[in-house]
Amino acid sequence: MPPAIGDQDLWADDIALREAVTREGAGWAEAELAAFGRVAGAEATFDLADQANRYPPELHAFDRYGMRVNQVRFHPAYHDLQKIAVGHGLPNFAWNHRRAGGHVAHAALNYMLNQAEGGVLCPMAMTYAAVPALSTTPALAGEWLPRLMSTEYDARDIPAEEKTGAQIGMFMTEKQGGSDVRANTTRAVPDGA
């Protein structure tokens, strides 16, 4: 077995990333990116990723009394990774820092975390994309944006309106392929144009 790599600094050790972030106008976010680079590259973060992938979510359809609960239970490592990502603004960085280069800094955060664990980035990306969509409807924005813009990860299984932070997710799949995108099929038909 190869020796453990140990802690890495995914910001300081990546000169190309640092240069690109500065060149593309997000140099102002260097302190946040440097802090996250140390967290994302920590051996402890890689260990969390290993555990989260080794122990996938489990559906608990019924409680011990036979009552339907339909609860999905995640390994604590998954929640720890979510807490790290949300705490560093991965689902909302550019929306909480509305200035030139905000999306560049957001991309750098995602790039660094993806080196440790990519699975938690799906809800981060969906939440990130939902902010501008929800912003077009004042009633929805007022209800959801305070929780989506939060840097507090709230893992409690409670109604969203009671949470201090929330994420957006999609639960759909292609009927023929599921999560195996290679199995998807397409068919072209004339559109009449």
Evaluate whether residue 162 is within a structural domain.
yes
pLDDT at residue number 174: 59
pTM: predicted TM-score of the whole model, two decimal places: 0.84
Q: What is the mean pLDDT of residues 89-96?
A: 95
CB-CB contact of 163 with 149 (8 Å): no
3-state class of 174 per DSSP? strand
Per-residue b or e along 18-38, where b marks 16 or more CB atoms closer than 10 Å to that residue's CB:
beebeeeebeebbebbeebbb
Evaluate whether residue 165 is within a structural domain.
yes
Evaluate whether residue 182 is within a structural domain.
no
Evaluate whether residue 184 is within a structural domain.
no
Domain that holds residue 172: 28-177
The band of 132, judged by pLDDT with boundaries at 50, 70 and 90, is very high
Residue with tokens 């969203």: 160
Q: How many domains in the chain?
A: 1
pLDDT at residue number 30: 98
Is residue 73 scored above 70 in pLDDT? yes
Evaluate whether residue 8 is within a structural domain.
no
Is residue 33 scored above 60 in pLDDT? yes
| SS percent in the chain: helix, strand, coil, step 5 | 50, 5, 40
Mean pLDDT value across the chain: 91
pLDDT at residue number 185: 76
